[in-house]
Amino acid sequence: MAPVLRLTAKTATCYNRRALRSRPRLGGKAVRRTRNQAPRAQPKGNMPIFSDTEQFYACMRAVFARMGQDDPSAGKAISRAGLILRLTLHDPPAQITIDGRHNPLQISYGPSSLRPDLEVALSSDTLHKILLGQLNGMSALGAGLLTVRGPVLRALMLGDLFGHLQAVYPGVLREQGLA
């Protein structure tokens, strides 16, 4: 369809009627969306699962301790790769750094001076859903709920680690009264 020229007293605008109809509307005006920009899925009215940073750290300490007791070989994927992984979370703000250069894994809770090879940024609720198996990590990455900084192919090695964490996480939640 050929562009149509609309002349008004103040301005002259050129637009394509089909493109204008196909754009989402916001308050009567057409909204532009770039090709790679996807709408972010944001839960409305949900309270965060963790009330503060200390509660989150206590839960994660218990999860990693239980994982180490149940299956000492659980951290082998990170150890084999020699990765330093940092999980940077928000709502509540927290950082977990996993140093896979040592066996057993060294895990620090809070800010760390180690420079990570791989950094994953996400909300604590997104991590909660991933660890419960309600959300796939790749789906969360595609939906913009988590971001990865570093070699993304190495992030695929984390599947085994998250599998082990998923096995113990629901039990820890029940013990701490969060489930």
Residue 12 pLDDT: 42
| Cα–chain center distance at 110 | 18
Residue 19 pLDDT: 44
Residue with tokens 């109809």: 21
Residue 35 pLDDT: 46
Residue 46 pLDDT: 67
Residues 6+ apart with CB under 8 A from 152: none
Residue 125 pLDDT: 93
Q: For 53-175, which CATH superfamily applies?
A: SCP2 sterol-binding domain (3.30.1050.10)
Residue 173 pLDDT: 94
**Are 89 and 56 contacting, i.e. CB atoms less than 8 angstroms apart?**
yes
- Domains in the chain: boundaries: 53-175
- One pLDDT digit (tens) per residue for the chain, 179 residues: 555 544 444 444 444 444 444 444 444 444 444 444 443 444 455 678 899 999 999 999 999 999 888 887 787 767 887 889 999 999 899 999 999 888 778 999 999 999 999 999 999 999 999 999 999 888 998 899 999 999 877 777 777 888 889 999 999 999 999 87
Residue 2 pLDDT: 53
Query: If you compute the radius of gyration of the chain from its CA atoms, what whole number of angstroms results?
Result: 22
The two three-digit tokens of residue 121, written as one number: 């940024």
